[in-house]
Structures are given as C-alpha cells and as structure tokens.
C-alpha cells in the first residue's frame, strides 16, 4: 500500500467508498473540487489501481480541517485509516497549519478511537449537527507541532 495525492483516475474508487461509508455522502462534484484545491487535497491509500481509502483535508493559514476519511469495508482494521490520518497531519503541518479540527458523529466509536489514538482531543459538541440520522457532532482538535515531521514524497497530481 502507498499513500498518494489523489488524481482524477482515483475518483471512481473514492466515490464507491464514500457512498458505502456514509449515510449522507458527498456528491461527486463536491469531492472532485478537492483534487485541484490549492489549499486542500485528497490523499488516497492505493494498491496498484485500487483505492483502499481516502482522506480529504483543507488548510487555511494556521488552521486546518479534516473533512472526511474512509476506508473500504474489506480493508478496515488493517492500519489503512491510521496511515492516511498520519499522512494528513504531516501534510497539513508542512503546509503551515498549527492546528487541525474535525467533526465526528457522537456514535462513531471506531473513528473517535482512531482520532484519539492519533492525538486528537475533544474540544466541543454541536447539537443536532448531522442529518439522516440526526445526531450531535463531537469536535476534536490536535496541535500539529506534536506531529513527528518525517520527510516523504507524495505522488504528483495528474
Ligand atoms: C474510521 C475508519 C476510517 C478507520 O479506518 P481503519 O483502516 O479501519 O482503521 P485502522 O485499522 O487504521 O485503525 C486505527 C485505529 O482506529 C481505531 N479503530 C479502527 N476500527 C475500530 C473499530 N472497529 N472499533 C474500535 N476502534 C477502531 C483503533 O483505535 C485503531 O487502532 P488499533 O488498531 O491500534 O486498535 C473506518 O472505520 C471507516 O472508514 N469508517 C467509515 C467512515 C467513517 O466513519 N469515517 C469517519 C468519519 S468522521
């Protein structure tokens, strides 16, 4: 498995995972803009042509946000999500972010465990934030200066 900056050729695989993972998936167009967003990116965990998982994030000066992370069901619990998240933290820090925020459904135990183990801490809660089903969002954040900045190269965008 390798983690690369996603390109147009990964979009079908990303959308399959997005639709299978979330009750309220993003549209294809909504995901696609992050392939070329100068302040954000989609990282994809790939094996050959297959997309195993992806993460979408955005950096705005010293703050950054994790918008989405998902792994295809058959590849879960093998470290793919952790590898994606760790790479997102490094990329955001390299882009100048000092902090990253995220929102997660209160009931999403696996994602909350992943974020906690990566160093995120709960910093708030938004009532009724999610639709279908309606649920509170837990807000979490992490200081990116805690991240170990290992140098690495991401694949180029197509
Ligand atoms: C959340 C998700 C991305 C985790 O991806 P993954 O590849 O399965 O996770 P990993 O194998 O890298 O596990 C990393 C850590 O996450 C936590 N975790 C993962 N799956 C878990 C589960 N089923 N139960 C509890 N904790 C879990 C654990 O802390 C784990 O560390 P450990 O292996 O040392 O115990 C994946 O479950 C997923 O795609 N879920 C659906 C989409 C989603 O809810 N995304 C988050 C939106 S906010």
Give the per-residue pLDDT at 74: 97
Q: Which residue has the least CA distance to atom 18 on ligand 1?
A: 110
Q: Is the CB of 107 under 6 A from ligand 1?
A: no
Per-block mean pLDDT, blocks of 10 residues, the chain (158 long): 96 98 94 93 96 97 97 97 95 93 97 96 96 94 73 47
Catalytic residue among 115, 131, 135, 150: 115
Q: Which of 110, 111, 133, 139 to mutate to test the pocket of ligand 1 (most atoms within 8 A of CB)?
A: 110
Tell me how many degrees the CA angle 150-92-44 measures, rounded to the nearest 5: 85
For the chain, which domains are there? 2-146 (3.40.630.30)
* Active-site annotation holds for 34: no
């Amino acid at each position: 498995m390798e983690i690369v900056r996603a390109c147009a050729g990964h979009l079908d695989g990303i959308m399959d995972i997005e639709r299978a993972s979330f009750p309220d998936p993003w549209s294809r167009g909504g995901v696609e803009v992050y392939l070329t967003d100068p302040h954000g990116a989609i990282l994809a965990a790939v094996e050959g042509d297959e997309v195993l998982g992806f993460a979408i994030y955005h950096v705005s000066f010293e703050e950054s946000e994790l918008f989405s992370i998902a792994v295809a069901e058959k590849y879960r619990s093998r470290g793919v999500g952790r590898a994606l998240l760790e790479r997102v933290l490094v990329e955001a820090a390299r882009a100048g972010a000092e902090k990253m925020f995220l929102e997660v459904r209160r009931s999403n135990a696996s994602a909350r465990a992943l974020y906690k183990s990566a160093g995120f801490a709960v910093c708030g809660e938004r009532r009724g934030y999610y639709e279908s089903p309606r649920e509170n969002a837990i807000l979490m954040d992490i200081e990116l200066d805690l991240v170990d900045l290992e140098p690495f190269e991401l694949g180029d965008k197509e």
